[in-house]
Chains A and B, each alone.
Chain A
Amino acid sequence: MLSDTPAKRRRPTRLAFRAKFTLAVRNVLRHRGRAFTTLGAVAFGVATLILSQGFVEDIFVQLGEAIIHSQTGHIQLAHEGYFVHGAHKPDGYLVADPEGDKARIATMPEVEDVMARLGFPGLLSNGRADLPILGEGIEPAKEEKLGSFVKISSGRRLKAEDHFHALLGDGVAKSLRLKTGDRAVLMVSTKDGATNTLDVEVVGTFQSFSKEYDNRAVKLPLTAAQELMNTKTANTLVVSLKQTADTRKVANTLTERNVWRDQEVKMWDQINDFYPKTVALYGKQFGGLRMVILLMVLLSVVNAVNTGVFERTAEFGTARALGNRRRNILEIILIENSLLGLLGVAAGVGIGVGLAKAISYVGIPMPPPPNSDLPYVALVRVSWNAVITASAIGFAATFLASIFPAVKMARMDIASALRKAI
């Protein structure tokens, strides 16, 4: 009754996958403490990666929005060459029919608004001193809608009914000691060599995200700028979109459509190199930080996985004494840690996304970024990309970390493994 026939004894044995899987599941579910150590390490790592990436992404997005809504709009169209040479010869690159072009662009469904600007270099004088500035004739009503990131530091914005009025960048006002209500004189040289002047009243001062810009910028109504420059047109059309994500698509369409001959289309991140440079700089700094985080995550996962495996050396020795093969030990450990990895990733994504939402709900007050005077509220932006990357790292770390102890356990001779029993 307690014996099998010799023929039966010769049949090879094989540990069914179900058995290995069940053992792995039970090890995860029934040894909470140990499972929790590994799971916690993985979850913590995944959550940290999601949060850190979400934080950096938010900085980039907010910086982009700040640039768009305080300076550039989403897309600008100008005569070819204006973006490179226009600053010194603004009247050489005029848009022939700004009103007609604006109307044509405005028909696109993604477009919120189109406005004309007339930029020019000039001097601003307070009666005692002159300061070289970059003047910008704008359409006040439309710009007010676009310019949500422009902070009025004193006085008020330009209004539609303003004419001989100017809004000064903070730096300009400081340099010339001009205050709201003061009068100043704008001077430009025209293409025939004459100097035109315009007497304006300061209605206020502003801050954008960039101090450099605020040190030079003087905004005035387009009509006044046209009078000063002796023209009826403008040199840029600024397109504002309903969604920043549509920028590339609309820019491509505008390029293909050729709103006018010799047009040049630029997206907000191409208009000046501030954004790409900042992204590169921050990317580098946060890249270093994320490497540190990644390393900590890897170390804690490796440590948890190692502990979880090696403390069971005698168990694996027992399994092999009972007839399990080396491979089975390897499989059991890998399956178990894959499960832990998956659960840890799931928990980490839950925690990471939850915390990101909570933090974004509250907001992190941030000091002004370099080159700016405006503090802002940082959020944590969760992208699919970040979630997938963090999950992949979390799972791969657990799985890879389990290979070494699994191989070591599988290679161990049974007698030595059994001697580890307490």
Chain B
Amino acid sequence: MSIVVLEHVSKEYRLGDHMVRALDDVTLSFESGVFLAIAGPSGSGKSTLLNVIGCIDMPSSGRVVIAGHDISGQTPDQLASLRARTIGFVFQTFNLFPVLTAEENVEYPLLQMEELDKQDRRERVKEMLELVQLGKFAKHRPSQLSGGQRQRVAIARALVTRPELVLADEPTANLDHKTGEGILALMRDINRRYKTTFIFSTHDKKVIDAADRLVGIEDGTVRILGVRKEGQWAITNVARRAASTTDTEAAALKR
């Protein structure tokens, strides 16, 4: 079953007098359990695409189905429960609450779930902090943690609600290379062990190599689709403009 289905999705922003087309007729679908990279240069529409998938931004046109829910025409508040229960978010800037400790940050999304009592929440938080190897840092505030540790807390927070889908917008962009690799390895490990779907964006070609699926986008349109089998990328060009450009892109991405 496809966990994400996008059909002819476009997103336009008004910028002064003219319109910016951040997504241009994007049609995609992802299977549950994939570890998928959305790659493209800065400004290509990666964040916009992730925001649409994450139900925090509405497309200007097109149909979006997330985990079986058709979200077309719904307000952000109507989608709040879906976000809370089905989707986990990891951000480039970590976005932890600075006034909460690591464990309080991880607990935060659970506070909306009335079926969980204090004990349930405590267990889940503990389990998640251990999963990201931060059991000892439960009482630390974000300012007392390194960038990599903060991102691990954020991953624990994204997973604590047991979502089907985790969206990570450039999760390693604010980390040094080695720490970034650690974060990717952690996400990859969770993806393997628990079959949680991960979709992350990046403009870093090295990060792409951690993925098993690839969507290359540029100027708001999908240019290439990649599937990795036994370490080798099988790339499909989604040629809409001159084929030569796309080939170059694909080659660049594949390298």
Contacts and interface: CB of A to CB of B under 8 A. Distances in A.
A314 B95 contact: yes
Contacts of B43: none
A129 interface: no
Interface in A305-330: 314-315, 317-327
Given A16-B111, A23-B97, A421-B93, A323 B195 contact: no
B84 A323 contact: yes
Contact of B99 (A3, A30, A327): A30
A324 B112 contact: yes
B76 A413 contact: yes
B194 A1 contact: yes
B86 to A, nearest CB: 6
Contact of B196 (A2, A27, A325): A2
B215 to A, nearest CB: 19
B89 interface: yes
B84 A13 contact: yes
Interface residues of B, number: 44
B98 A11 contact: no
Contacts of B111: 15-16, 18-19
A193 interface: no
Interface in B203-238: none
B56 interface: yes
Contacts of B84: 13, 322-323
A345 B141 CA distance: 29
B99 A413 contact: no
B106 to A, nearest CB: 11
Contacts of A326: 76-77
B85 A14 contact: no
B114 interface: yes
Interface in B105-162: 108-109, 111-115, 141, 157, 159, 161-162
B54 interface: yes
A422 interface: yes
Contacts of A377: none
A289 B98 CA distance: 41
A32 to B, nearest CB: 10
Interface string A383-422: 0000000000000000000000000000001110010011
B81 A323 contact: yes
Q: Looking at A321, A421, A422, which has the most chain B CB atoms within 10 Å of its CB?
A: A321
Nearest to A315: B97
A249 interface: no
Nearest to B32: A3
A322 B162 contact: no
A323 B99 contact: no
Given A11-B115, A415-B51, A322 B81 contact: no
A8 interface: yes
Contact of B112 (A321, A323, A421): A323
A3 B194 contact: yes
A422 B92 CA distance: 9
B122 to A, nearest CB: 15
Interface of A: 1-4, 6, 8-16, 18-19, 23, 26-27, 29-31, 314-315, 317-327, 413-415, 418, 421-422
Q: When A and B form their complex, which 9 residue pairs have the shortest distance between CB atoms, in order from nearest? A: A323-B84, A2-B194, A19-B111, A13-B112, A414-B56, A421-B93, A30-B99, A415-B57, A318-B95
6 contacts: A9-B85, A23-B108, A317-B95, A320-B80, A323-B83, A323-B84
Interface of B: 47-48, 51, 54, 56-57, 67-68, 76-77, 80-86, 89, 91-93, 95, 97-100, 104, 108-109, 111-115, 141, 157, 159, 161-162, 164, 190, 194-196
